[in-house]
Amino acid sequence: MNMVSVSAVCKAVASINPGLTMSPLSLFRQRSKEKVVVIMGATGTGKSKLGIDLATHFPPAEIVNSDKMQVYEGLDITTNKVTEDECRGVPHHLLGTVQPNIDFTADDFCHHATLAVGSILKRDGLPIIAGGSNSFLDALVNHYPDFRLRYHCLFLWVDVSLPVLHSSLSARVDRMIRAGQVDEVRPFFQYHNRDYTLGIRKAIGVPEFHSFFQAEADGADERTKEKLLQAAIASIKINNCNLATRQLHKIHRLHAIFKRNMHRLDATEVFLRSTPQEAEQAWEELVLSKSRRILHNFLYDDAHVDVALASVIASSSPPMAAAAATR
């Protein structure tokens, strides 16, 4: 049979039976494996932004957070959670939903992420998994059979040159401090407890302040406190840069496994632009527009959906098949 576009079949369905509506995504559900988008990259590269941008271009789409610190309630500044305004109405899952003192493991993530993806697909939506915790993603796409057997993933890798990213991460820490990070973290300080291995207390930007808060509690002079505060800020910057480097190494390992389905998007130029307007323009040209094309091909490429469309058309009424063939 001649190959037919997804949109043509959807139009044909509507023309034959106005009461029956089929979205392009619902037609695609005829395939044996349903499709999921995974956005990855080092911390601070713009994964959350890209996820939301794509979700608004491919509705209905919902985002499943895969950042292991952003799953916890609280510390919104420290963990760099997207704000309600930044979400632009796009539903998010596993974002600020876990109690801060619980140890949320990779197995926990796999279980809850798979449930979230399934619920999104049942609503005829596109699941977009986004976050920097590559250990979570690796566990999900490589070692969780329930996910691997059911879903076909497209990987979008937002990459930024490490020297440029390190500079941006340092500036981001300064913005967090100005936004009130110190006051946000203070309630998590426990004078005699230096164990920062459980729950949200593991987040970069929490343990680094321990000596500063201890000095505060001891009534130290302002000079001592300022010295300890600046040391804490410097440590946060170093630890964020080290995290980005480790994450990049893990992504390279994942790329070796999924290189056929992983697309690298170089966002370095975005971070080098001098004004927000110029940065946004570079983002649109170098990251978002490319991502839209890649995702569109992944979802709607005729070569991939021909079998599914043939099944849909063959099972429909003759007028529908004829209408689709003439589009």
Range with the poorest average pLDDT among 46-55, 131-140, 155-164, 167-176: 131-140
pLDDT reading at 23 higher than 60:
no
Burial class from Cβ neighbours inside 10 Å (0-12, 13-18, 19+) for residue 173 reads: buried
Tally of residues, the chain: 327
Q: Which residues lie below 8 Å from residue 314, measured CB to CB, with a gap of 6+?
A: 321
Task: Please tell me the predicted confidence (pLDDT) of residue 133.
Answer: 84
Cα(210)–Cα(196) distance, integer angstroms: 10
Which among 94, 102, 137 is positioned nearest to 247, based on CA atoms?
137
Cα(220)–Cα(223) distance, integer angstroms: 8
Range with the poorest average pLDDT among 66-80, 258-272, 313-327: 313-327
Task: Please tell me the predicted confidence (pLDDT) of residue 317.
Answer: 43
pLDDT reading at 141 higher than 90:
yes
Stretch 39-48: mean pLDDT: 96
Residue type, 305: V
Global pTM? Answer: 0.82
pLDDT reading at 308 higher than 50:
no
pLDDT, tens digit, for every residue of 236-292? 999 999 999 999 999 999 998 888 899 999 999 999 999 999 999 999 999 999 999
DSSP, res 223: H
pLDDT reading at 16 higher than 70:
no
Task: Please tell me the predicted confidence (pLDDT) of residue 33.
Answer: 83
pLDDT reading at 220 higher than 50:
yes
Backbone angles phi, psi at 146, to 5 degrees: -60, -35
Backbone angles phi, psi at 37, to 5 degrees: -100, 135
Task: Please tell me the predicted confidence (pLDDT) of residue 15.
Answer: 54
Cα(11)–Cα(30) distance, integer angstroms: 17
How sure is the predictor about 306, in pLDDT bands with cuts at 50, 70 and 90? Answer: very low
pLDDT reading at 324 higher than 70:
no
Backbone angles phi, psi at 221, to 5 degrees: -70, 165
Stretch 290-311: mean pLDDT: 71
CA angle 80, 85, 90 (to 5 degrees): 90
H helices present in the chain, as ranges: 6-16, 24-28, 47-57, 84-87, 106-122, 134-143, 145-148, 162-179, 181-185, 210-217, 222-258, 268-272, 276-283, 289-300, 302-314, 318-325
Task: Please tell me the predicted confidence (pLDDT) of residue 26.
Answer: 52
Give the residues across from 36 on adjacent strands: 153
pLDDT, tens digit, for every residue of 202-211? 999 999 999 9
pLDDT, tens digit, for every residue of 114-129? 999 999 999 999 999 9
Tokens 């389905």 belong to 261
pLDDT reading at 323 higher than 60:
no
* CATH architecture of the domain formed by 31-272: 3-Layer(aba) Sandwich (3.40)
151 vs 313, more confident: 151
Residue type, 100: P
pLDDT reading at 50 higher than 80:
yes
220 vs 322, more confident: 220
Stretch 211-217: mean pLDDT: 97
Q: Which residues lie below 8 Å from residue 243, measured CB to CB, with a gap of 6+?
A: 42, 43, 204
Write down the domain spans for the chain.
1-30+293-327, 31-272
Q: Are 267 and 159 in contact (CB under 8 A)?
A: yes
- C-alpha dihedral, 263 to 269 to 275 to 280, nearest 10°: -20
Stretch 79-88: mean pLDDT: 96
DSSP, res 37: E
Residue 84 CA: distances (Å) to CA of 45, 54, 108, 190: 20, 17, 25, 30
